[in-house]
Amino acid sequence: MCTAKCSKCIAFSLYPFVFISILCNIVLFFPAGSVKYAQEGHITEEVKYMGGLLGGGIMVLISSIYIHFTGENGCCGNHFGMFLSIAFAAVGVAGALYSFTVAMVGLNSGPLCYAEDKWTTPFKHSNTSYLADASLWKNCVEPKNVVQFNVGLFLTLMATSCLQALLCAVQMINGLAGCLFGACNKNKQNEVPLSS
């Protein structure tokens, strides 16, 4: 597969992951499907860092748009365009890593919830991993099912950001090949037919 076509394929693969990252981050602001907790400021701290929105969302979207352009005829599908795609793919990797790190810290710390008559993060400094012991989850009285809510969305963000980082890393290698050997993005109309 030529490097320009590979760039287009990578960009089209990144778009759904960008959408998933943004969606997960937005949904995290509304535990139990209610705006009440966001209005009162009772949101898990790591959600406010917006790893899925800024990192896995905007940063990877910028990268994927440019990577998409490297696959177009007469646009960025040349040696210099492919060289720039390496830098844009690196931005995508950085965004995915930011999203992954925020999600991992959020998963490790656990959710902010109403437990023991106060709003707290009851699992943050616990000696036992709340992920391994589901019986601890009932300690969070409010929002309802907030532990499952946060775990599911943070795990989704982690998986999505891993795939984003992998695709952007592949584009860095693809961009290097395109920079060295050309994007091989030519119109079939310009090809000279072989005489028999």
Asked, for residue 72, whether it belongs to a domain, the answer is yes
Tokens of 74: 């007469």
What is the per-residue pLDDT for 163?
A: 97
Asked, for residue 92, whether it belongs to a domain, the answer is yes
Asked, for residue 188, whether it belongs to a domain, the answer is no
- Distance between CA 94 and CA 98 in Å, rounded? 6
CB atoms within 10 A of CB 77: 25
Please say whether the beta carbons of 18 and 57 come within 8 A.
yes
> Residue 73: pLDDT above 80?
no
Total structural domains within the chain? 1
Asked, for residue 194, whether it belongs to a domain, the answer is no
DSSP 142: B
Q: What global pTM score does this model have?
A: 0.85
Residue ranges making up the domain that contains 158: 3-183
What average pLDDT does range 187-196 have in this prediction?
Answer: 45
